[in-house]
Chain A
Amino acid sequence: SQTIHQWPATLVQPVGSPLSLECTVEGTSNPNLYWYRQAAGRGLQLLFYSVGIGQISSEVPQNLSASRPQDRQFILSSKKLLLSDSGFYLCAWNLGPKLFFGSGTQLSVL
């Protein structure tokens, strides 16, 4: 069966520091992969999605970037974090129209 792993679960970073969040999917090949951000108590904002290795679509211009170095690996990065980057980050993959989410990373930028 397919599983999605996302880490770390929580992260506290100072403003101006770099960021790297990693997501991996097991049990499937060539999945579509997604990064979402959720502000406290709010909706899901799609940040990036990828339909294949090296293919990244950006939905919202911002201080973040994404990369897909391997088929089942999706990385969210920033060179210098801003206070506004705080939030709950979710990785996801899809099987047809069904989207399956990871457990999320709570990022606090102080």
Chain B
Amino acid sequence: GQQLNQSPQSMFIQEGEDVSMNCTSSSIFNTWLWYKQDPGEGPVLLIALYKAGELTSNGRLTAQFGITRKDSFLNISASIPSDVGIYFCAGHYSGNTPLVFGKGTRLSVIA
């Protein structure tokens, strides 16, 4: 079945630094999504991307849908302590097929 490779698995960064994480797939998707999960809570949708090449921002977050439709990245600029959490990428092909999730990137921000 489809799988997403998300990297890095974990990151330790200083407050104020920029962060970049990405997901790659062996097959194409029609939608890419990025989620953030705080400890003990459900993941929350950050950004949804619908077209190859699309670049979308949400505050300090920027995500892009790769031209090949097989990859996406998420950038966080000027990180702050509340950015701590697990970030998941997810791809959707079509219809009622469930999302395929990456295994997550655990972000730790050192003040």
In chain A, what residue has the closest Cβ to B92? A97
In chain B, what residue has the closest Cβ to A6? B42
Number of B positions contacting A (CB below 8 A) = 22
Measured in the bound complex, the distance between the Cα atoms of B83 and A23 in whole Å is: 28
- Tell which of A41, A46, A51, A104 touches B42, judged by Cβ atoms closer than 8 Å: A104
Q: Which of A27-84 contact B (CB under 8 A)?
A: 32, 34, 41-44, 46, 49, 51, 59
- What residues of chain B lie closer than 8 Å to A104, measured between beta carbons? 40-42
Q: A56 → chain B, closest Cβ, in Å?
A: 13
Measured in the bound complex, the distance between the Cα atoms of B96 and A13 in whole Å is: 34
Q: A43-B88, A97-B33, A99-B33 are in contact. Are A90 and B96 (CB under 8 A)?
A: no
| A interface: dominant SS | strand
Number of A positions contacting B (CB below 8 A) = 24
A108 at the interface (CB under 8 A from B): no
Measured in the bound complex, the distance between the Cα atoms of B41 and A73 in whole Å is: 20
> Residues on A close to B: CB < 8 A?
6, 32, 34, 41-44, 46, 49, 51, 59, 88, 90, 92, 94, 97-104, 106
Question: Can you sample 6 A-B contacts with CB below 8 Å?
Answer: A44-B101, A49-B98, A97-B33, A102-B42, A104-B41, A106-B40
